[in-house]
Amino acid sequence: MGGTTSSTGRGGGTSLGDLPENCVAEVMLRLDPTEICGMARLSRTFRGAASGDGVWEAKLPRNYARLLAAAAAGDDSEEAAALELEAIPKKEVYARLCRRNRLDGGTKEFWLDKVGGGICMAIYSRALSITGIDDRRYWNFITNDESRFHSVAYLSQIWWFEVRGEVEFFFPEGVWINHHVGDFVVKNSNEPLNVQFAMVQIDCTHTKGGLCVDSVVIKPQYLAQKMAARTSSV
């Protein structure tokens, strides 16, 4: 988005910087976070409006306080302790939640999508219930630089293939999709939602092998639709 300057009167002129900050904030409420950050570079007035709590609170999930508490609980740093003790600007809350926030000993993580503000979650293969995972004849954890968790569960060979998982979290309201599994709808973001999932092939007439299990990812439906649109256009 660009800015223009128009002149009024004989000797003077007005510019975008002359707009009242509250008017600029009203415009920003209708933009996504990346556009807001871009507009903040236009002038001091725009920068002030782009830092307002009202603008950023509108972009946060309604249960952002619970999400921030979950992020702090999974982080032992001094910064995390400070987040719980004092109020911080909503822009900083948004930025904090956009980071990868680890849970349950680092086996799960969640983050806000920077553009749309939707909650995404990844569940590492070590947090899944995998039949035979402790027997190296069947499964091994191997290093993989492409994995967000830096290793994957590799299946050498097995007759009974069964991978199950479960997560309970304060997902915001909206429609969610877990690719290849199904859709679910969140009706109350103030109650933790229990989601169970599985990948099973227990036909013992043949063995299974050569499969890598990295993680389970839960994303808002709009992100899946955007990804599908990009794929179909290639």
DSSP state for residue 150 in the 8-state scheme: S
Dist CA 111 CA 219 (whole Å): 10
Greatest mean pLDDT among 65-79, 117-131, 215-229 lies in 117-131
- Name the nearest CA neighbour of 212 among 125, 82, 87: 125
Dist CA 15 CA 3 (whole Å): 9
- Looking at residue 83, its pLDDT comes to 53
Residues 6+ apart with CB under 8 A from 188: 173
- Looking at residue 7, its pLDDT comes to 38
What whole-number percentage of the chain has pLDDT above 70?
A: 79
| Bridge partners, 133 (sequence order) | none
DSSP state for residue 184 in the 8-state scheme: E
Instruction: Give the pLDDT confidence of 49-108 residue by residue, as tens digits.
Output: 999 999 999 999 988 988 998 888 876 655 554 555 457 899 999 999 999 999 998 899
Cβ atoms within 10 A of the Cβ of 176, count?
A: 23
Instruction: Give the pLDDT confidence of 1-41 residue by residue, as tens digits.
Output: 444 444 344 445 667 667 888 888 999 999 999 999 998 99
What is the residue type of 7? S
Residue spans per domain, the chain = 21-100, 119-232
| Bridge partners, 184 (sequence order) | 176
Dist CA 218 CA 220 (whole Å): 7
Dist CA 102 CA 16 (whole Å): 42
Strands of the sheet with 211-213, listed across from one edge: 139-143, 151-155, 211-213
Q: What is the mean pLDDT of residues 202-223?
A: 82
Total count of residues recorded for the chain: 234
Is the model's pLDDT at 221 over the cut of 70? yes
